[in-house]
Amino acid sequence: MKRIVFALGFLFFYQGVSAQGFFNTERITNLENFDKKRWSWGYFLGMNFYDFQFQYELDRDEIETDRNMGFNIGLIGNLRLSEYFDLRLEPGIVFANRNVNFPGFEERRFRFREVEANYVHVPLLLKFSTKRLNNFKPFVVGGVSVAHNLSSNEDNPSDNSAGQFRMRDWAGFLEVGFGIDFYLDYFKFSPSIRGVFGMTDEIVPDNDPNSPWTSNINTMKTRGIFLNFTFQ
C-alpha cells in the first residue's frame, strides 16, 4: 500500500513540476472560464484502504488488522470562495472491508472476524489551489466528515462470544489530502490522495466486561487512505 501511495504521489509531483515548463510556451487553454463559476458539480469514483487504530488498556499482544481494497462513489458540490479557495461537499457511499485477528486464540472461529462496513460518508472540505499552470492546477484539501455505517450491528444483543463483532452507527473523521486538477477539452479530471483519520470510538464492547476480545480495548478508530478520481 505504501508503494502505491508513493508512486501516485510521485506522479502528481512530476506532473506539477512538468506543468511549470509550460510557462514560457503558449498553449491552448482548456475550459478557460471553468473556475470562474460560483457553483460547479461533479462526481467521483475511487478506492479505499481502511484499517483500525487500537488503543489498549494494558500492554499485551496487539490485535492485527488486514487491509482490503474497497470502493467509493459519490457526488460533488463545489462553492467558489475566491481565486484560490473552494468549499466542497462530497456525499458518497464507501464500501470498506477489514479482517481482524485477535491474539490468544488458536481456532480461527474465535480469532478471526471479517468486518464489513458500508458508510454513507459526508465530508465538508476546504480546497486550496495554486495558480493555474496552463491546463494543470495542484491543490490541497482538508476538512471533517461524518459517516453512518449501514452495516452496523450496534444494537445486536449477540457479541463476539457468538461470532458478532459490533461497531457503532456513527463516526466522525478528519481528512487531509492533495491532488492535481487536469483541464481537458470537455471536463476537469482530478486524481487525489486523501488520508482519513477517525476521531470517534467505533467499538461496541462485549457484554462480558472480562471478554477476551474487547476487555483490553480502550478505543478503536478507523483510519485509511482514499484514492479518488473526480470528474467535473
Whole-number pLDDT of residue 231: 97
Whole-angstrom distance, CA of residue 223 vs CA of residue 15? 28
- List pLDDT tens digits, range 203-220: 999 999 999 999 999 999
pLDDT band at 25 (very low <50, low <70, confident <90, very high): low
Whole-number pLDDT of residue 219: 97
pLDDT at 16 over 80: no
Whole-angstrom distance, CA of residue 83 vs CA of residue 86? 8
* 177 sits in which H/E element: strand 170-183
Mean pLDDT (whole number) for 160-189: 95
Set of cell numbers at residue 217: 480495548
Whole-angstrom distance, CA of residue 130 vs CA of residue 139? 6
pLDDT at 27 over 70: no
Mean pLDDT (whole number) for 171-199: 96
Q: Are 92 and 73 in contact (CB under 8 A)?
A: yes
pLDDT at 6 over 60: no
**Residue ranges of domains in the chain:** 2-20+62-231
Set of cell numbers at residue 53: 487504530
Q: What is the pTM of this model?
A: 0.83
pLDDT band at 29 (very low <50, low <70, confident <90, very high): confident
Per the prediction, the chain carries an average pLDDT of: 89
Whole-number pLDDT of residue 24: 44
Q: For the structural domain made of 2-20+62-231, what CATH number should be given?
A: 2.40.160
Q: In the chain, pLDDT over 70 holds for what percent of residues?
A: 88
Lowest mean per-residue pLDDT among 27-36, 41-50, 174-183, 188-197 = 27-36
Whole-number pLDDT of residue 5: 46
